[in-house]
Amino acid sequence: SQQGEEDPQALSIQEGENATMNCSYKTSINNLQWYRQNSGRGLVHLILIRSNEREKHSGRLRVTLDTSKKSSSLLITASRAADTASYFCATPAGGTSYGKLTFGQGTILTVHP
Amino acid sequence: GAVVSQHPSWVICKSGTSVKIECRSLDFQATTMFWYRQFPKQSLMLMATSNEGSKATYEQGVEKDKFLINHASLTLSTLTVTSAHPEDSSFYICSVQGKFTYEQYFGPGTRLTVT
């Protein structure tokens, strides 16, 4: 079953702009991950944030986590056409354990050159 | 991270035939692999967890007799879609569980089209 809901479902921006995607989940978790999927390809892990972290950075990516609201956001700064992809949040299906992941519905990001 | 391959990358088969998809962990001994399916513009749905040397664990609603999973070695898991029907047409993706990490490493996926 899908735990996460993401919004927006689709986002279209110009190169250089920032893109923000949001994810909400239902159960308690100890970590949340973000993955990227180029069209017709497998997923690539972007970043993991633990439940005791509020914010994490990796290059042009910034992830926040609000466990009280059961939500996370992914910000991509200074976007590039190559950032065009689908972005998914994922949480442990059992809440805390290694193993099964439950994916959000995803946000389709299109960055126009 | 682990490098994961899938074969074939795409396959077209006739209704009623069986299709085998391979998932290989190229540089990592994977005791646990996962199989997902994904319909166009939708998210990934976990089908089953593949454990080396033991039976796979299927998610609710996934027919284990239709989707046969074999994880015979630490580097190879196979998914066989038996008696395929057009509704089985989908994108099938495998992943490998990282060791002592929450991350999963994904294969490039297999596009199955059943005619």
Distance (Å) from the C-alpha of residue B49 to the closest C-alpha of chain A? 8
Could you tell me what percent of chain B has a pLDDT over 70? 100
Are A100 and B103 a contacting pair at CB < 8 A? no
Task: Indicate the pLDDT class of residue A2, thresholds 50, 70 and 90.
Answer: very low
Residue B99 has pLDDT above 90, yes or no: no
**Residue A74 in tokens:** 């992914």
Sheet strands (E) in chain A: 5-7, 10-14, 19-24, 31-37, 43-50, 55-58, 61-66, 71-76, 85-92, 101-103, 107-112
Are B108 and B7 spatial neighbours (Cβ–Cβ below 8 Å)?
A: no
Helices (H), A4-110: none
Q: Residues B81-109: what's their mean pLDDT?
A: 92
Query: B43 in contact with A at a CB cutoff of 8 Å?
Result: yes
Average model confidence (pLDDT) across chain A = 91
Please write the tens of the pLDDT for every residue from A26-75: 988 889 999 999 998 999 999 999 999 999 999 999 999 999 999 999 99
Residue B18 has pLDDT above 70, yes or no: yes
Q: What is the mean pLDDT of the segment spanning B30-58?
A: 91
Q: Are B91 and B21 in contact (CB under 8 A)?
A: no
pLDDT of residue A97: 58
pLDDT of residue B6: 97
How sure is the predictor about B76, in pLDDT bands with cuts at 50, 70 and 90? very high
pLDDT at B81: 98
Q: Quick check: A18 pLDDT over 70?
A: yes
Give me A2's structure tokens.
Answer: 């899908």
Question: Which pLDDT score, from 0 to 100, does residue B24 have?
Answer: 95
Answer yes or no: do A105 and B43 touch at CB < 8 A: yes
Q: B28: pLDDT confidence band, cut at 50, 70 and 90?
A: confident
Size of interface A-B (CB pairs under 8 A): 56
Q: What is the mean pLDDT of residues B8-18?
A: 97
CA angle B8, B9, B10 (to 5 degrees): 90
- Flag whether residue A10 sits within 8 Å of chain B, measured between CB atoms: no
* Closest chain B CA to residue A91: B102
Percent of chain B with pLDDT over 90: 75
Which residue in B97, B105, B108 is closest to A41 by CB distance?
Answer: B108
CA angle B34, B81, B1 (to 5 degrees): 25
The mean pLDDT value of chain B amounts to 93
pLDDT value at position A1? 41
Q: How far is B43 from chain A (nearest CA, A)?
A: 5
Is residue A98 pLDDT above 70, yes or no? no
